[in-house]
Structure 1
Amino acid sequence: MSSGGSWPDSAAIRAAAEVAGRTAAEADASGRVSVETVEALAAAGFPGCFVPERWGGAGATCETVLRAVAEVGTGCASAAWIASLLAYNGRFGAYLPGDGQEEVWAKGPHTRLVSSMVASGVEARPVPGGWAVSGSWLYVSGVEFADWALISSALPREGDRAVRVFALPREVFSYKSTWATVGMHATGSHTLTANEAFVPEYRSFVWDDMRQGILAGPATRSQAAPLFSVNGLTFAAPILGAARGALELAGQHLAVPAGGPRAAARESNLFSFARAAAEIDAAELLLSRVADTADQGRRDNGLAERSHRDATVAVEILVGAVDRLFRVTGTRGQASSHRMQRIWRDVHAAASHAALQFEPAALGYTRRLLSA
């Protein structure tokens, strides 16, 4: 495994994973991860993973973040989703001008950043010294406990230099409780709202620079990787962890001697378990290559598109493995009190994220390959 400077603290990661797993059922029922879990994730250092080192960042790698997020996801996919976004939103913040970075991380690298590029009815009006920003932004995971938010002026499009990203402090935005889903319920991905929030010029950057990995200041290779080299990792890592959790549960189920109708299906279930285990390992290998490509800072033609493709394929494999394991646990796994049904719901909900859809990733990869 790659080294990420002084990060991760393995004991702190294990502690965060334990808290997340212990409180997962309550979080799912309430629609929000517990305060204890959020504090454990912060104590484990997730918010500071990709923060520039001059502001106290950990100098983490995508590989170490992948593994740490997956460890949390074994017990709670929603908590892992929050952990991953806390980490990668710090990477987004590194695209701000120096004065903006200094303001965002004035209190240290533990600052909790959330983000949304899904703009709805947004107006960013130029005013002296910056912009006045109003509107709504959808699906802002973790907005309830955010210190700062990074939001876009419009829905971003490749090559569009007009779309900007703005950094808003907590005192100038609020949120509406709009997240009520079958899976990933505890992510609290509500709607952020702002009304005439002033954003100075130094707290904004062009979204397309982030897409291309163009930073004005010093950066690690991971920070300067093009967006689609790493974007799939952000959302795939929690699914990898959840799949591992499903494998663990299915193993416990199969370890109990079967009797009656269950006995007839036992051999078939053993085959299913072995196949799912191999599928999870295969998906992890794909995601590790995506992480390694970003950590090496490689910008060869088509590598960002390949990484995007690989992340979506890995997620498709993981969803299939979880489906297989869900069937292994039978009606027991479908009980509302059983952890397996929550994993199954969370994995399917997480896999529906726009960044994890195979078709656009496949088109981007193939078109780039054929144009080379």
Structure 2
Amino acid sequence: MSAAEHREFTASVRALLTKHATSAAVRAGMDAELGYDPTLWRLLSEQIGVAALAIPEEYDGVGAGLIESLLVVGELGRTLANVPMLGSAVLGVQAVLLSGDGDAAARLLPGVAAGSTILAVCWAGADGWDEPGIHADGETLSGTAHYVLDGLPADTLIAVTTSGLFEVSADAEGVSKRAVATMDPTRKLAEITFDAVPARRLGDRDPLVVAARLREVAWAAVAAEQVGAARRCLELTVEYTGSRVQFGRAIGSFQALKHRMADMYVLVEAAESASQAATAAVAEGSASAAEDVWAARIHCSETFTTVVSEMVQMHGGIAITWEHDAHLFFKRAHGDAQLFGTPRRPLTHSA
């Protein structure tokens, strides 16, 4: 897609989410067993085709790409709607494609493209994503995957192990799921245990290379989400300070707050540039992808955390009430900062 087509596409996604992913709808999804509104996912899949974006046409997809998928992730960040986009239509799809297994892609991806099949990537161990929680003994899987996105509603599980990727039906004997308590109530995570479960190996590519590439995709996706959420926090803050009156004036007219909001704006703009560079590098398979994603991971996490903290400060006491959405963005910021792990060392500036 061209830049103009990207803008038009983003506007369509935002319009649908504005109508159907309101604060009340997101809160209702938080209380649902699946953690999201299936009707919203159906509308996004059928009317806009978001689940099919990164799926090649030969597997009934749109054949667009990762860039378009992450535009959707960014828009979802603005609303905190937890549909199976990041976990299934981005990570799940990319895991299958990265495996190089054409038979698996032909079997799994048409259902994902239609929005009727949900994939969940089972990856992290108890200490995070650097050590997989699942180990393979031949074609048999054992262990526990932690922090699994879309794990509860998943139809098919894609297990990441040091031996490669494996496919398992979510209702296979020996597989058990449980929801886990999280700081962020808008995003449900699951713990999935495999007890000597027979599995189907996906492709024969180097598992270290596949896992590294999948991590780049994951970090680029989270960065896009963080930018969308941070920009929405900035908009809400500007709106609130323009209507909140103290000493006979809107507080947004006070110079000190103007400066703080200007700083927020600069942070969001810079983070968006970092996110876009990372997404483009990963989508193109650029040699700089690892570095670009690393930088975006750090900068976008810091930006979202800073902007949402300023949002809470400038909203005052109302921001920490359950009724206001500021605390939901605050919790998403802290959850996203840890999701899929963090770089092992910070970026440094050479002299």
TM-score by length of 1: 0.78
Give the structure 2 partner of residue 156 of structure 1: none
Q: Distance in 2 between matches of 1:49 and 1:284?
A: 21
Amino acid at match of 1:252: E
Give the superposition deviation at 1:9: 8.0
Q: Write the mapping of 1:18-57 to structure 2, written as runs, cut at 5 A.
A: 18-22=19-23, 23-29=25-31, 32-43=35-46, 44-57=48-61
- Are positions 1:148 and 2:149 aligned together? no
* More displaced stretch, 323-332 vs 8-17: 8-17
Q: Is the 8 A contact 2:151 2:189 kept in 1?
A: yes
How many Å separate the matches in 2 of 1:141 and 1:289?
25
Contact 2:226 2:300 in 1 (8 A): no
- Label 1:361 to 1:20 Cα distance change in 2 as closer, same or farther (>3 A): farther
In the alignment, is the contact (CA less than 8 A) between 1:116 and 1:152 conserved in 2?
yes
Q: What does residue range 69-108 of structure 1 map to in structure 2 within 5 Å?
A: 69-76=73-80, 78-79=82-83, 82-88=84-90, 89-96=92-99, 97-105=101-109, 107=111
Secondary structure in structure 1 of the residue aligned to 2:345: helix
Higher relative contact order (CA 8 A, sep 6+): 1
1:124 is the counterpart of 2:112: no
For residues 334 and 29 of structure 1, do their structure 2 counterparts lie closer, same or farther at Cα, with a shift above 3 Å needed? farther
Alignment correspondent of 2:130 = none
SS at 2:158's partner residue?
strand
Residue aligned with 2:113, SS: coil
Structure 1 position 348 matched with structure 2 position 349: no
Residue correspondence of structure 1 range 204-215 to structure 2 within 5 A: 206-211=206-211
Mean CA deviation greater in 327-336 or 98-107: 98-107
**Does the Cα contact within 8 Å between 1:21 and 1:75 map onto a contact in 2?**
yes
Alignment match, 2:345: 360
User: How far 1:180 sits from its partner (Å)?
Assistant: 1.3
- Of 304-313 and 339-348, more deviation after overlay is shown by 304-313
Unaligned runs of 5+ in 2: 127-132
3-state DSSP of counterpart to 1:341 = helix
Write the mapping of 1:1-372 to structure 2, written as runs, cut at 5 A: 2=2, 8=9, 11=12, 14-16=15-17, 18-22=19-23, 23-29=25-31, 32-43=35-46, 44-76=48-80, 78-79=82-83, 82-88=84-90, 89-96=92-99, 97-105=101-109, 107=111, 109-110=113-114, 111-119=117-125, 122-126=134-138, 131-153=139-161, 162-172=162-172, 174-183=175-184, 185-202=185-202, 206-211=206-211, 226-260=213-247, 266-299=254-287, 302-355=288-341, 357-360=342-345, 362=347
Alpha-carbon offset, residue 78 of structure 1: 3.7
Q: Would the aligned equivalents of 2:135 and 2:142 in 1 still touch at CA under 8 Å?
A: yes
The percentage of counterpart residues that share the same residue type is 18
CA 1:34–1:70 in structure 2 vs 1: closer, same or farther (change >3 Å)?
A: same
Q: Give 3-state SS (helix, strand or coil) of 1:134's partner.
A: strand
| Cα distance, 1:306 vs structure 2 | 3.2
Match of 1:220 in 2: none
Paired with 1:207 and 1:63, the residues of 2 have a C-alpha distance of 24
**Structure 1 residue 16: deviation in Å?**
4.0
Q: Report Cα offsets for 1:339-371 as digits up to 9, x if no partner.
A: 11111111122112244x3543638xx9xx9xx
Letter in 1 for 2:159: I
Considering only aligned residues, what root-mean-square deviation do their CA atoms show, in Å? Answer: 3.2
> What letter matches 1:58 in structure 2?
V
Runs of 4+ in 1 over 6 A off after TM superposition: 261-265
Distance 1:106 1:244 in 2: 34
Instruction: Tell me the number of residue pairs that the alignment of Structure 1 and Structure 2 aligns.
Output: 333
TM-score normalised by structure 2 residue count:
0.82
